[in-house]
Amino acid sequence: MLKNIQNLIKIAGQICYTVMGDKMKMNITNFEKKAHSYLYQQIADQLAMDIRLGYLKKGDQLLSIRKAAQYYHVSKTCIEHAYEQLLVDGIITAHAKRGYFVDTSKEQLLLRSEILADKPLDKPSIRYDLCSQSIDFETFDTMLWKRYIKDILEQSSSIATYGDPQGEKQLRMALSQYVFTMRAALAQPQQIVVASSFQALCYLLFGLLSKPCVVGMCEPMFLPLQGVCQDYGIEIISLPSDEDGINLEALYQSPVNVLYVHARSDGAKYQPLSVAKRKQLLTWAKDKKAFIIEDDHNGELHYETRMVPAMQSFDEAGRVLYIGSFSRLLLPSLRISYMILNKELLARYEKRKEYYSPTASKVEQLALAGYILDGHLQRHIKRLKKCYRVKSAAFQHFLNIYFPDAELILEESALQYHIVLTEAYDMEAVVRLCKQRQIRINQRQKKQELTLSFAALSLENMEQALQEIKLCLRQAKL
């Protein structure tokens, strides 16, 4: 019965578009003048609504300005303004000596309405965050950082121009000192290139490298680099790894000429590469005239082991391309990374520099330069080490309680534990069940290995979070 009534209403609506046998269409019956709104806008809105409802279709002709004015009982100027509004919005089109025609579909108008509608942001509620990309926000002095940002914003001469594509000189000078002090890496300011992320630097780097490139890395593949290689059409070779890192025999037998290494966390045990292994890789790079991309993000965070200098500090042949980042030292939203080029690639970069644009915020670069030069970053890292040392010990304590039979491997610089389980689980189901409980964990998990970060967890929430994750595992057991 209801369906029949709806059909009758639709037919009635379509009938009201036929005016005195004329082929031209206009909905007059449904139009009511409203106070406190321009008449021309009311008419334009009515026509747009009629298209959304399907009464007017693409290609239908509208009444002439004169006839529309008669039937709406308004002036011709009012109709002209309404049609002009629809023309500007791309809803109708005008043809000389023929008139006005609908030039959009019901679906297009609905899409426009959806785009322009004010919709609340869907922010997922997270009770416990154990994702590898998280940090302990409480450790960062936001008031101090705001002061540095404010100081730069008040320097009109600094922010009224585009930034240097290579990165602001003040920051590159600060980074040259910082990376030597903290990681023993050697670089002149002119060797450093600043960008918004590791991935942005890799896009630039592979544009500088000679072709063809064959990239080698161990499982699990590092997604940002994997994405760059796929975009460039570069072959990726998965290399086997031993407990102490990349298998050298397999590396020598492979056609790899660009090797990706995270020197602070490599091999099956996620431990820093030994000095001996680093030197072996450097020998391979020298022998093969290959390059090593040293990803040293969080390399400064050593709170359980002693500091091992960056591989770049051992490199005498200029085969290491060092990349550092501040995403988990400061804030993930602070998009600043940097790369140290060797002399060969620096010369290529300088020839092409004018073709590049800066990708990192000039304001944030200048603020960070001051923050580093005033010694705040080094003091902040000391606080982080103390904080994460305590958290790591507490997290390990609760892991031993809830996963007594599992092997626990600390990946120090990533602020996470790898829990090698004795049984297999459907990890996609585990991730889904955790999400239902408002627990955030890494999307990519191995079948018998669970990776959990303690960085963003408070000490008070650790036990409860692990209790609930254990329940999710029980439900997803294979």
What is the mean predicted confidence (pLDDT) over 429-441?
95
What does the pLDDT look like over 154-175, one tens digit per residue?
Answer: 987 888 888 999 999 999 999 9
For position 11, what pLDDT does the model report?
42
CATH number of 142-374: 3.40.640.10
- Which of 85-89, 256-260, 395-399 is the least confident region? 85-89
Residue 180 has pLDDT above 70, yes or no: yes
Q: Which residues contact 1 (CB under 8 A, 6 or more apart)?
A: none
What is the mean predicted confidence (pLDDT) over 337-364?
95
| Amino acid type, 328 | R
Confidence bin at 267 (pLDDT 50/70/90): low
Describe the crossing of helices 362-373 and 169-183 by its angle, rounded to 10 degrees. 50
Residue 362 has pLDDT above 70, yes or no: yes
Q: How many alpha carbons fall within 13 Å on the CB side of residue 219?
A: 7
For position 306, what pLDDT does the model report?
82
Mean pLDDT of the chain: 88
Neighbours of 166 (CB within 10 A): 21
Confidence bin at 31 (pLDDT 50/70/90): low
Encoding tokens for residue 293? 């991309």
What does the pLDDT look like over 136-149, one tens digit per residue?
Answer: 888 999 999 999 99
For position 235, what pLDDT does the model report?
96
Give the β-pairing of 245-246 and 241-242: antiparallel
For position 268, what pLDDT does the model report?
67
CATH number of 13-116: 1.10.10.10
Confidence bin at 26 (pLDDT 50/70/90): low
CATH topology of domain 385-475: Aspartate Aminotransferase, domain 1 (3.90.1150)
For position 23, what pLDDT does the model report?
47
Domain ranges of the chain: 13-116, 142-374, 385-475
Cross-strand partners of 99:
95
CA distance 64 to 101: 10
Confidence bin at 225 (pLDDT 50/70/90): very high
